[in-house]
Amino acid sequence: MASQLFADHVALALMAHLTAFYAERPAVMRPTRGGLAQWQERRAKEMLLANLDGKIGLDELARACGLSRSHFAREFKTTVGMPPLQWLLTQRIERAKELLLNPSMPIEVIARQCGFVDQSHFTRAFFRAVGATPAAWRRVQRF
């Protein structure tokens, strides 16, 4: 019994040593400092989604979160990983993808519903984000 316990202990010590010495070191996760409170993030995202057309300014978002404009922009980026305008554009593209699944809906109508000025602006933004035009993306999704 004692020899089995000793063998297990030595094996465990050897495994711990080998793992610590030869294993890849995990990336050090540093805690993020700052950022928006959960209620502020939720409020800002709700307001942005309610105004997909982009007719809401940073001042209004910051005021709703009780922050200055620059502090809000900085904290939003810290929390979400991208600036508010870029997050809004991503949401607009995602909404456009949902609408593009309906083949009877014209691309021009989708562009307006997602807050783009015109179809050309929508096509350029969609291509930058997705790597394909809305029409090409729609065709691929049918199959």
CATH fold of 38-81: Arc Repressor Mutant, subunit A (1.10.10)
pLDDT score recorded for residue 44: 96
In angstroms, rounded to a whole number, what is the distance separating the alpha carbons of residues 121 and 115? 10
pLDDT score recorded for residue 143: 75
pLDDT score recorded for residue 93: 96
pLDDT score recorded for residue 12: 85
**Cα 93-99-102 angle, rounded to 5 deg:** 145
Tokens in use for 7? 């063998």
In the block, residue with structure tokens 């810290």? 78
pLDDT 10s digits, 42-91 = 999 999 999 988 788 999 999 999 999 999 999 999 999 999 999 999 99
Give the least confident one: 1-10, 21-30, 58-67: 21-30
- Percent of the chain surpassing pLDDT 90: 67
CATH fold of 87-142: Arc Repressor Mutant, subunit A (1.10.10)
State the chain's mean pLDDT as an integer: 89
Neighbours of 78 (CB within 10 A): 13
pLDDT score recorded for residue 122: 95
Rounded to whole angstroms, what are the CA distances from 79 to 73, 75, 124? 10, 6, 28
Same fold, 38-81 and 87-142: yes
Domain residue extents for the chain: 38-81, 87-142
